Amino acid sequence: MRLLVADDHELLLDTLESYLAAEPAFTVIRAPDLDMALTHLRNEPPFDLVLLDYNMPGMDGLCGLRHALDLAHDRPVALMSGIATRAVAEQALDMGAAGFLSKAMPARSLLNAITFMGQGERFVPVELFLTGPAAEAEAPGQPLERLTERERDVLLGLCQGHSNKQIARDLDLSEATVKLHVKTLYRRLGVSNRTQAAMLGRQSGLL
């Protein structure tokens, strides 16, 4: 996976690059600001994933995200930040971002999220929506109507009593990707475990 990471904090870039470089599947290109990131996007083959620091020079809020999306050849672009709010994350997703990463995420979780988005999925830390004064329930409506097609596939696997490993095998996904989908399902459905999710799926006519 060719990954473009743009951030003005050199220490964070060094840390992230060294961690990802230990994984043979990743090639990391780095940029210290938005202008350099856009230069890479204009002059190099499409990247599998682009990560942009929300607060680095040149971003101008979410305007930088729009510029990157326009140059990314429909490849995923995600934001990362240590301070951005839930509202910013929601706006970024509405604009077409592949996800939102918190800089406070553990390294292994960050790697899983990057892999997840590189496979064409969307990622937002569940904690961003479940903590803080802005936390609130998902919009009302039929639970299954709020799910993506992939989330419905994973929920069907839960309804059938399959393990994450079996669901991953059936859907040709990594087990880590399935785990992320399961966490997202819990939030979207307003449940706290696999049994509750499966029961809700059955009650909604999934089986």
Q: What local confidence, expressed as pLDDT, does residue 143 receive?
A: 60
Question: Quick one: pLDDT band at residue 137, thresholds 50, 70, 90?
Answer: very low
To the question of pTM greater than 0.75 for the whole model, the response is: no
Q: Is residue 139's pLDDT more than 70?
A: no
Band of residue 157 on the pLDDT scale cut at 50, 70, 90: very high
Region label for 100, one of left (φ > 0), alpha (ψ between -120 and 50) or beta (otherwise): beta
> With bands split at pLDDT 50, 70 and 90, how would you rate the model's confidence at 105?
confident
Residue 186: Cβ within 10 Å count: 16
Rounded CA separation 16/157 (Å): 34
- Greatest mean pLDDT among 63-72, 148-157, 185-194: 63-72
At 127 the pLDDT is 62
User: CA geometry: angle at 41 spanning 39 and 44, to 5°?
Assistant: 95
Greater pLDDT, 22 or 117 = 117
| pLDDT category of residue 112 using cuts at 50, 70 and 90 | confident
8 A C-beta contact, residue 86 and residue 132: yes
Inter-residue contact 116 to 177 (CB < 8 Å)? yes
- Where helices occur in the chain by DSSP H, the ranges are 10-21, 34-43, 63-71, 86-95, 107-118, 126-130, 149-159, 164-171, 175-189, 194-203
Counted residue by residue, the chain has a size of 207
Give tens-digit pLDDT for 49-90: 999 999 899 999 899 999 999 999 999 999 998 777 778 888
Please report, rounded to a whole number, the percentage of residues in the chain having pLDDT higher than 70: 90
> pLDDT band at 119, cuts 50/70/90?
confident
In the chain, the domains with their CATH numbers are: 2-130 (3.40.50.2300), 143-203 (1.10.10.10)
Q: Where residue 129 falls among pLDDT bands split at 50, 70, 90?
A: low
- Computed over every residue of the chain, the mean pLDDT equals 84
